[in-house]
Structure 1
C-alpha cells in the first residue's frame, strides 16, 4: 500500500508542479516580464520535473514518458541537449532485474526445465524497457534469440499508474485549456492493459511476421515461444534508429541519404501494415525500429497494436484530401458527423480552416522535409493559448476510434523531424490510405 501511495504521490507532483509554475509565470507577465522568455523557462522546468518523475517509475508512467519522447524534436533548441539526454533515457532505460529474479520468472512461465530449451542464456540484460527486459540467448536449435521477460509486479504498477493518470484527466484538460481527454485516455488504457499479456504480443508479432514474410524491405523477427510474461523471438543484429538520429546530429550531410531512407521506410511500414496485416504497430519510438546492414528496416515490440481488419478507415483519407484542397466546408461537415466536434459546441468552416492551415504543410506537397525547426514552430503554435485560432480546438475532440492511429502518425512525424528527413508522405497516403485518392480525384 505504501509503495502505491508513493507512486501516486510522485505522479501527482507533475500537474501540480506545472500548475504552480504557470501561476508564477502569469504573475511575472503581469509585472512586465518577457512572455516568450518566461514560457521557455517554465517549459524547461516542467520538462525537468516530468521526466525526472517518470524516469523513476516503471509501468504506465514510464510508457507515458516513452510516448512523449518521440516529440523530442519539438523541444526549443537552447534546451535540446538536456531534453535529448532525458528523453533518450526514457526510451531505453529502466533498473534491471537480478538474474535470480529473471530465473524465477522463467521457472514460472516456461517450466522449471526451461534451461533445456536453450543452449545458452546470458544473465546480463541486453536491453530494458517499461514493463520488461530483454536477454540474449541461443535456442535449442541453434538460433540466436531475444528473450523478453516481464518485471514481477509490472501489471500492478501499470494498472496503478493508469488509474492515477485517469483521475488526473480533468486537471490535465484544464491545464491544457483543451477539451475532455477522458475518451483518449480510456483507449490508451485499454491498449496498455493488452501489453501485459505477452501472448497477445506474440500473436500480433506472428501476424506481422507472416504478413511481411519474404518482404524485400521489412523484417519482422519470428516468434519462437511465448507465455503470459515471457516471449522468445529471433535475435536481430541491427542499428537502432535512435543511434542513426545521434549520427545525424554529428554528421548531418554524411548521413542525409540514410536518414531519408529510414524515415521513409518507417512511414511506409505504418501506412502499409493495416492493408497487409490488418494491424497497426502502436509503439512508435526509435528503439523499436532498426536498420539491418542490407538496408532493410527491422521492427520489434508488438505489445500495442490497433486492430484494423479492413485497413485504415476511409474517412481519414477523405479528411486529408479535403484539407489538402482547402475544401473546409465539406471537411467541417464531415468532422461533425464523425464525432470530432464536442456535443453542444459549434464550429464554422472558417474557424476550422484558420486552425488547420498552419499545420497543413506536409499535405501540400508529395514530399515534405520534416525538421526540428518546423516541429518547434508547430508545437509552439499548438500550445499558445493566447492565439485566438487555437481556441477553436477547445470545441474539438479526438474520437477514441482514431486515437491510436493519430498517436502513431504523430510519432512517425516526431521521429522524422528528429531524423531531419525528407519523406514522400503524400505518395504513401495515396498508395495505402483508402478514401484519399478517390476524393483527390473527385476534386
Structure 2
C-alpha cells in the first residue's frame, strides 16, 4: 500500500475480521457507505441482523441461562449443608462476574451501559462490589479494536483517499477504545500530536440491538445495583444514540467547550483539528486518567481531581451553554500542571441559559429549613404533581441528606456515604423510598439529574474531599443570596 512521501505509518499485525459480504475477504476495505455483512437471523423489523449483532445477542442471551444454572447449583449446595447466606453471596459474585465478563467483550450498547453503570459502582455494598470492581474499571477504557485495514478504510472514506498526507505519522495500534469508536495517536502535518477518533462501522446497528436486548435483561442488574431501575436508563441511552453517533455534532460541542475554557487555569479541553461524520481529529491530551487516580492516586490528586470535576460540572453550562453528559472516569485526566483535562463530547445537554435557577434556590431554601417554600417550588417545577399530597417537613427530611455535600465548607465523598444514600432511597421499606415514589422527575431535569448523580458517583470513587459549597456559590444560579 503506497504511502505519501515523508509519512510514517506505524503498523501492527492485521487481526482476523468478519467477512464483509459476498465476494470479499477478511481485511478487505469496506466500500464507501459501508458494506452489508453476511446475515443469519433478522431483526424485529424484518431486516437482516448483522453477524456481529448475532454474536452479541447470543452472548447477552447467555446471561439469564447462566443465572438459572447458578440458581440450580445454589439449591444443590443448600441441600448439601451450606447456609443460605453463603450460597447467596456466591451466586451474587458469580452473576456479577459473568455479567461484566460479557459486557467487557462487547461494543455497542452493552459497552455504553457498562460504562454508564460503572460510575454508580460506589453505591454497591463493599462485599458485593469487591469481586468485580476491577472489571468495571476496565469497561471504562477498553474494547476489542478494529482491524487495521478497516481503520484505513474508514479514514479514506471520511478524510479522502489522500488521508495520509494530512499526517506526518499515524499509529495503527489504538490507544483507547470505547462503545462506538476507538482513538489512535498521530502527528498532524503541522507537527501537533493529535487524537484521531474513528467510529466503528455499523455502530448504530450494534447500539440499538444491544440496548434492546439489555432492556429485556434489566432484572439481572438487581443483583449488584439494588434499588436501581435499569430500564429507564436504557431507554435514555437509546434516546441519545443518534446524537452520539453524529461526530459532526460532537465536534461542534467540543469546539464550544474548548472556546469557553481557552486559557483556563483549572480546566483544559483539546481543540478540534479536523472533523468528518465518522472521524474527529483533536489535539492530544496527556494526563493521569481518573481511573488510575481512583485505583492508586494520592490524597492530593484525589481532592484536586474531585474539586475540578465539581467546577467543570457547574461552570460549563454558564460558560459554554452545554453540560458534559458522560461523567465516567475515562473521560477525565489530571494534567501535569494540575488542570482537569476533559475529552469525549458525544453526549452533551444543551443549556443555553445555564443551569435552571430553581435548582440553586431549592438548595438554598432546603439548607435554610424553609420546608413550605421548598414544597411550593417543587410543585411549580413539576417535581410534585398537583394531585399528590405530601408533607412539607417529610419532603425536607427526604432532601436534607442529599444536601450534605454543600451544607458546610468541607465535605468528604466516600463510598460509605453513597451506599447509605442508595439504601435509604432504594430500599422500598424505608420512609424515604416510599416518599420518593410519590415524587416526579420532569423531563427537562432528567439529564441534569443523571449527570449530577453520575458525577457524585465518580467523586465517591475518588474518595475526594473539598469545599464544594464554594463551587456552587460561584457557579450555580439561585444559590447565593
- Matching of residues 286-305 of structure 1 within 5 Å: 286-305=329-348
Which residue of the partner structure matches residue 134 of structure 1? 183
Q: Aligned to 1:92, which of 130, 135, 141?
A: 141
Residue-by-residue CA offset, 1:356-403 (whole Å, 9 max, x unaligned)? 334332232132111122122222223222223312222223222112
Which residue of the partner structure matches residue 326 of structure 1? 369
Max Rg structure: 2
* Cα contact 1:179–1:394 (8 A) shared by 2: no
Which residue of the partner structure matches residue 247 of structure 2? 198
Residue-by-residue CA offset, 1:193-218 (whole Å, 9 max, x unaligned)? 20101111111111111111111221
Residue-by-residue CA offset, 1:173-204 (whole Å, 9 max, x unaligned)? 9x97789965x655443323201011111111
Runs (5+) with no aligned partner, structure 2:
1-39, 42-50, 75-81
Q: Offset at 1:54?
A: 2.2
Q: Does 1:217 find its partner at 2:266?
A: yes
CA–CA separation in structure 2 for the residues paired with 1:119 and 1:301: 24
Q: Relative to 1, partners in 2 of residues 1:188 and 1:351: Cα closer, same or farther, differing over 3 Å? A: farther
CA–CA separation in structure 2 for the residues paired with 1:353 and 1:6: 49
Which residue of the partner structure matches residue 116 of structure 1? 165
SS in 1 for 2:437: helix
RMSD: 3.3
Q: Does 1:397 find its partner at 2:455?
A: no
Which residue of the partner structure matches residue 356 of structure 1? 399
SS in 2 for 1:389: helix
Structure 1 stretch displaced more, 316-325 or 119-128: 316-325
Structure 1 stretch displaced more, 376-385 or 108-117: 376-385
CA–CA separation in structure 2 for the residues paired with 1:398 and 1:107: 45
Residue-by-residue CA offset, 1:198-254 (whole Å, 9 max, x unaligned)? 111111111111111111221111111111111000112211111111223xxxxxx
CA–CA separation in structure 1 for the residues paired with 2:386 and 2:91: 34
Q: Does 1:268 find its partner at 2:303?
A: no
Runs (5+) with no aligned partner, structure 1:
26-32, 249-254
> Greater share of helix residues, 1 or 2?
1
Q: Offset at 1:36?
A: 8.4
CA–CA separation in structure 1 for the residues paired with 2:58 and 2:391: 42
CA–CA separation in structure 2 for the residues paired with 1:335 and 1:34: 47
CA–CA separation in structure 2 for the residues paired with 1:23 and 1:350: 47
Q: Relative to 1, partners in 2 of residues 1:87 and 1:107: Cα closer, same or farther, differing over 3 Å? A: same
Q: Aligned to 1:376, which of 419, 432, 444?
A: 419
Q: Relative to 1, partners in 2 of residues 1:422 and 1:38: Cα closer, same or farther, differing over 3 Å? A: farther
Q: Offset at 1:43?
A: 5.1
> More relative contact order in 1 or in 2 (CA 8 Å, sep 6+)?
1
Which residue of the partner structure matches residue 30 of structure 1? none
- Matching of residues 32-431 of structure 1 within 5 Å: 44-165=93-214, 182=232, 186-248=235-297, 255-341=298-384, 345-431=388-474
